[in-house]
């Protein structure tokens, strides 16, 4: 169990290096996931670009990331590089700025006194709160009560 925790700490340390390397190639690191599934360790690297993500960009990102991982001798069974998808998770301040005015789904933590899930147009986001324009009007949600914010797929 202790080795797993040390390993996760190592992954958190390499994230800024991966982000920096991808940034040099004008590729945004959206999220790193390091998970065990069916007894195998997966490393998923979600990337984005203003013009979208295609197979060539995923290949380029893999070639940039793999030497960093191998150089640190970090363990994984499978490396996957892909787009975050149409229901992308918004985590960083730049995500909230970039997608202001877009439809989102906001899931709340259990302690939130109100609906557990809301959808609407993303408004102003500060360190302390998220504004969401719903059919009922503008709702201000404390950020510490938010579990996850995703783009609404608008299918």
In order of their start, the domains of the chain are 2-82 (3.30.300.70), 93-151 (2.30.30.100)
Query: So what's the pLDDT on residue 6?
Result: 41
Query: pLDDT grade, residue 7 (50/70/90)?
Result: low
Query: So what's the pLDDT on residue 152?
Result: 92
Query: So what's the pLDDT on residue 32?
Result: 87
**More reliable by pLDDT, 74 or 93:** 93
| Residues 137/141/145/147 CA torsion (nearest 10 deg) | 60
Query: So what's the pLDDT on residue 8?
Result: 64
Tens digit of pLDDT for each residue in 89-120?
998 888 899 899 999 999 999 988 888 999 99
Q: If we measure between CA atoms, which residue out of 22, 8, 6 comes closest to residue 68?
A: 22
């Amino acid at each position: 169990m202790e080795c797993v925790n040390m390993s996760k700490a190592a992954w958190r340390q390499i994230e800024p290096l991966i982000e920096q390397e991808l940034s040099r190639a004008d590729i945004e690191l959206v999220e790193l996931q390091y998970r065990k599934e069916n007894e195998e360790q997966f490393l998923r690297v979600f990337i984005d670009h203003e013009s979208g993500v295609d197979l060539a960009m995923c290949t380029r990102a893999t070639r940039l990331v793999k030497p960093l991982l191998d150089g640190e001798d970090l363990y994984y069974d499978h490396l996957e590089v892909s787009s975050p998808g149409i229901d992308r998770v918004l985590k960083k301040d730049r995500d909230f700025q970039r997608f202001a005015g877009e439809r989102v789904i906001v899931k709340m933590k259990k302690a939130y006194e109100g609906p557990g899930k809301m959808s609407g147009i993303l408004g102003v986001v500060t360190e302390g709160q998220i504004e969401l324009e719903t059919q009922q009007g503008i709702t201000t949600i404390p950020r510490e009560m938010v579990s996850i914010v995703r783009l609404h797929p608008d299918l």
